[in-house]
Structures are given as structure tokens and as C-alpha cells.
Homo-oligomer: A and B are copies of this chain.
């Protein structure tokens, strides 16, 4: 098997709300119409599925640049706060500083960001965007906004504020 790419519920790249083609054969329980039941009322599961769907659209939207969510978030932070150290950016984004090394290296290799020498601490790097990186970000921001607009439209514009508020509360921590 495997060759049947039908298992990936891909559809056309249009913005419409067309229904999926769906190859209906339904062999016993093997059909794709199995309901996840109680899982739908579990916040962790609901968040995971929603997050994956949103990331999928984001990645597709920026596909011509190959920029992934984490990379975009770094470029955006450097745009807003030039001169931050690797540790500062990594910590703000919840990335281990060891894992941040190849990430920033890639952005530097692509000519979008650079490590500058810190004026006060020779151990650290002051990160900033290159002119090329600034230009890229300008262009990509428009793409990202289009993506964000689609997301907001999906939940309804009036629900965005409450959504961000509730997600922020969760992100601050559950329990403890």
C-alpha cells in the first residue's frame, strides 16, 4: 500500500469552503468516519488538533520562503527587539539555548539575521536582522497577516480577543 496518497485528507488550495472529495469505500470499521467521542471535550486534545491545523496553514502560506513557525518567531522578535542575546530570545520563545544554536545559524546562513559582538559581555551575541532580513520580514508579514485573517475568520472576528485571553491564561500554567 502506502502509495495511495488518499489517506492525507488534502484538498485544493482554494480559500473556499468546499467539501472534501472523500473516497468512500468504507470497509468495516476501517472507514475514515470514526468519531473520537469524549476526546472532543478534552482541552489538550482539542488544542493539539487546532494548533496543528493552524500551523499547517501557516507553513503553507510561507512555503515559498520555507520559513517555519519557530524561525518566523525569531525574526519577528529580532525586528521588535534588536540586540537581544541568544539566551534571551531562546528563553522568551521557550526554546533550549542549545537547540537555538542551529536555528539562529540557519537564519544567519540564509542572510536574514546576524550575530554581532556584544558591547558589554564578550561571551554573548547581540542578535539583529540584516537589511535583507528586514526586507524579507516585511514581505512575509503580509503573508502572515493573510494567514492570521483566515484564522480569525474561522473562529469569527468577535471571538478573537476572548480566544487570545484564554490561551494566554493556559500558557501561564495549569495548577501549581
Contacts and interface: CB of A to CB of B under 8 A. Distances in A.
Interface of A: 1-3, 6-7, 9-16, 18, 21, 23-58, 69, 73, 76-77, 80-85, 87-89, 91-94, 97, 101, 105, 108, 114-126, 128, 144, 147-148, 150-152, 154-156, 159-160, 162-164, 166-176
16 contacts: A26-B82, A26-B126, A28-B124, A29-B81, A30-B85, A31-B88, A39-B73, A44-B58, A45-B73, A47-B167, A48-B51, A151-B170, A154-B174, A155-B170, A159-B166, A162-B162
Nearest to A55: B44
Task: Count identical subunits in the complex.
Answer: 2
Contact of A126 (B30, B150, B163): B30
Given A2-B125, A10-B105, A36-B92, 14 more contacts: A21-B108, A23-B125, A26-B82, A27-B83, A37-B76, A41-B164, A43-B151, A43-B152, A44-B58, A45-B73, A46-B163, A53-B171, A57-B175, A159-B162
